[in-house]
Structure formats: C-alpha cells, structure tokens
C-alpha cells in the first residue's frame, strides 16, 4: 500500500517545525522544537526528535521526509554546503537523516521549499515568474523564472537577503562578510532592535511599558502590540516595510516577477509591513514591472517551508 503521508520539516535559525502531511497538504500533526545550534549533531538530534514525534502521531504510513534548511544546498547529493546561521557546513544531511530514520529523505533550501508550496498550491499558484522572501531570523530567498527554480551553478543562487541596500550599513548577521545587506535591516531580530530603540524614547507607549516591565522585545511582541494599535510598534514595523520595499524594488527591476510572496514569521504583521513595502516599490521600481507585480503574503504563512518540504518528499514516492 502506498504511503499516505510524509513528514515535512522547516528548520530555521532559531526554531524547527515538523508536520505529518497528506497528499492534499493537510497537516495531521505538528512538532515544534527550538533549534539547538551548538554543533551539527545537536541540530540533527533536534530534527530526529521532531520527526519521530510526528511519525509516531501518524495513523498513516509515512513514506519519506522532506527537509527545508537555511543553507546553500547541493540538492542532488543532499549536502548542506554553507550555512549562515547553523553549524552545517559540508554536512551530508540527507544521508545522515535517512540512515537514522530508515526513510528516503530530500533536502532543499528552506526558502526554496516555501517557494514550492506557494507556487504549486498557494499565493503564486499558476505564476511562472515568482520571487519568494521568507523573513524570520534572517531572509531566505527563492526564485522561479519561466517556470523553473533557479539554483545557479552550484546551488548558491537566490540568496536574496544578501542584496545590499546600504554599502555603509551595519555588518550582516551570521557569517556573511558583507555590510548593509537587506537581512541586516529586515528580520525578526532587526525588528526587535528597532523596537527596543524606539521604546526607550517613548516610555509611556505600550511597548515602552513592556520594556520597562522586563519583557523581552521580540518580533512576535512587536507584531502583537502593533495589531493592538501601539504607535511605536507600528512605526517600527512600517520602517521594516519601507526597507523591505527598497529590496523588493531591486528584485522587481531585475526579475520582472508576476508575484513577490512574503513568508516567514514577520509576515504575521500583515499589511502593517506589506503596505509600506508596496508604496516604496510603486515609487522606486521601473515601469512596466512595478505595475505588473503583486506583493502578497504567503498563503500558508509560517508553514510554507514545512509544506513545501512535504511536497518535495511526495516527489520521492
């Protein structure tokens, strides 16, 4: 009997989501973990634990595992080449995970996995030219050009978070040697830093009181307070949106996409983030590309990467 489910895994710089997924992309069980980043084996142990939980919760036979990881990936070999936020350089991820689980495993970049979900079943379904940005601990990128995923000569293409928007900007996070990358300005940590800065100058705001009360200023807190109407949190997210729009304008000029899909944790800010980005693109990008592109949230939200990894796993069956 053919396997009825697969397990999709989205491994980020700080957290992991695994899900038991059927052929209609319905999720039957979710397993969450914080990413342990001490060394490669700690990362693998976290993946195995989450997959085993999801597997044991399934009433159906699990046929394969798909992994989306925040690395440059040699997809044919299932090897993580370099990774900006996790200790996975040169790790044979597919082989190691497959050996421990006794299941076939496919590995791809996490943002490319999100692109697969959104182009096959989500916000960009039917489009042949798509830019995907996943905004969380950093920015992942995926590209679909004329219906084909762009991987580059060695699988290192579409690192869209590392386009430079300010040559004299701050150092890029992780091990990127550049300065002023989009990722340095737009991410969950960048939003938290901006929120802490603004809260210090507005102590009577909800965000300022949260900071004074000892709460950690984080991306989720900022989003929550912004939706509740806190002006300082809204201003910080609007600034993220403006910076995001600067990056998107360049991508629109280069790729002339039909759709730019925004996913990852920061997409929870919704129109508070996307409306300023669209305004910047309308002012800065070239016609006719700026008038043709749609800038939309991922249909599957934070789960795009996990569902895309699951879709890639079904391709193995």
Left, alpha or beta for 146 (phi > 0: left; psi -120 to 50: alpha)?
Answer: left
Instruction: State whether 27 and 85 are in the same domain.
Output: yes
Return the HEC string of the chain: CCCCEEEEEEECCCEEEEEEEECCCCEEEEEEEECCCCCHHHHHHHHHHHHHHHHHCCCCCEEEEEEEECEEEECCCCEEEEECCCCCCCECHHHHHHHHHCCCEEEEEHHHHHHHHHHHCCCCCCCCCEEEEEECCCEEEEEEECCEECCCCCCCCCCHHHCECCCCCCECCCCCCCECEHHHHCCHHHHHHHHHHHHHHCCCCHHHHHHHCCCCCCHHHHHHHHHCCCHHHHHHHHHHHHHHHHHHHHHHHHHCCCEEEEECHHHHHCHHHHHHHHHHHHHHCCCCHHHHCEEEECCCHHHHHHHHHHHHHHCCC
Q: Is 177 left (phi over 0), alpha (psi -120 to 50) or beta?
A: alpha
Number of domains in the chain: 2
142 plus 288 within the same structural domain: yes
Q: Residue 45's pLDDT is what?
A: 93
Domain co-membership, 142 together with 281: yes
| Closest by Cα among 75, 51, 46, 50 to 63 | 51
Q: Could you tell me if 156 and 21 lie in one domain?
A: no
Residue 142, domain extent: 125-187+230-298
141 and 251 Cβ atoms separated by less than 8 Å: no
Are residues 242 and 288 part of one domain? yes
Residues 237 and 264 in one domain: yes
**Same-domain status, 33 and 94:** yes
On the question of a cis peptide bond just before residue 148, with omega within 30 degrees of 0, the verdict is no
Q: Which pLDDT score is estimated for 161?
A: 95
Residue 47 lies in a domain: yes
CB count within 10 Å of CB 299 equals 17
Contact (Cβ atoms closer than 8 angstroms) between residue 7 and residue 54: yes
pLDDT (0 to 100) of residue 82? 87
Which pLDDT belongs to residue 203?
87
Which CATH number do you get for residue 256? Answer: 3.30.420.40
User: pLDDT at position 2, please?
Assistant: 55
Mean pLDDT by 10 residues, the chain (317 residues): 83 90 93 84 93 92 95 92 87 95 96 97 97 93 97 90 94 90 94 88 86 84 90 93 97 98 93 98 97 97 96 95
> Cβ atoms within 10 A of the Cβ of 28, count?
15
Q: Are residues 140 and 25 in the same domain?
A: no
State pTM to two decimals: 0.93
| 211 located within any domain | no
CB atoms within 10 A of CB 293: 24
Residues with Cβ within 8 Å of residue 24, at least 6 apart in sequence: none
240 in the same domain as 140: yes
pLDDT value, residue 35 = 78
In a domain, 205, yes or no: no
- CA 12-15-20 angle, to 5 degrees, is 90
* Residue 310 sits in the same domain as residue 279: no
Decide: 304 and 109 in contact? Cβ < 8 Å. Answer: no
Burial class (CB in 10 A: 0-12, 13-18, 19+), 2: exposed
In a domain, residue 225? The reply is: no
């Amino acid at each position: 009997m053919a396997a009825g489910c697969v397990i999709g895994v989205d491994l980020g710089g700080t957290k992991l989501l695994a899900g038991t997924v059927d052929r209609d992309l319905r999720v039957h069980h979710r397993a969450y973990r914080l990413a342990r980043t001490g060394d490669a084996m700690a990362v693998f142990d976290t993946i195995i634990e989450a997959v085993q939980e999801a597997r044991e919760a399934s009433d159906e036979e699990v046929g394969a595992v798909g992994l989306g990881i925040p690395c440059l990936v040699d997809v044919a070999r299932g090897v993580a080449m370099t990774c900006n936020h996790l200790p996975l350089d040169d790790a044979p991820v597919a082989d190691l995970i497959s050996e421990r689980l006794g299941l076939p495993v496919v590995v791809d970049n996490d943002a490319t996995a999100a692109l697969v979900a959104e182009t096959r079943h989500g916000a960009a379904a039917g489009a042949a030219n798509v830019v995907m940005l996943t905004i969380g601990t950093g920015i992942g990128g995926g590209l679909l050009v004329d219906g084909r995923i762009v991987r580059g000569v060695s699988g290192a293409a579409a690192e869209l978070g590392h386009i430079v928007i300010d040559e004299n900007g701050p150092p890029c996070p992780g091990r990127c040697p550049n300065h002023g990358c989009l990722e340095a300005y737009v991410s969950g940590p960048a939003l938290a830093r901006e929120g802490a800065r603004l809260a210090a100058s507005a102590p009577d705001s909800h965000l300022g009181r949260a900071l004074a009360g000892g709460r950690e200023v984080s991306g989720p807190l900022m989003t929550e307070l912004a939706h509740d109407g806190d002006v300082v949190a809204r201003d910080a997210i609007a600034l993220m949106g403006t910076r995001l729009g600067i990056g998107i304008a360049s991508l629109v000029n280069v790729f002339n996409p039909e759709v730019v899909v925004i996913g990852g944790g920061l997409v929870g800010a919704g129109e508070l983030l996307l409306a300023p980005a669209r305004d910047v693109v309308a002012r800065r990008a070239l016609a006719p590309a700026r008038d043709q592109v749609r800038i939309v949230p991922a249909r599957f939200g934070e789960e795009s990467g996990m569902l895309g990894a699951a879709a890639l796993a079904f391709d193995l069956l």
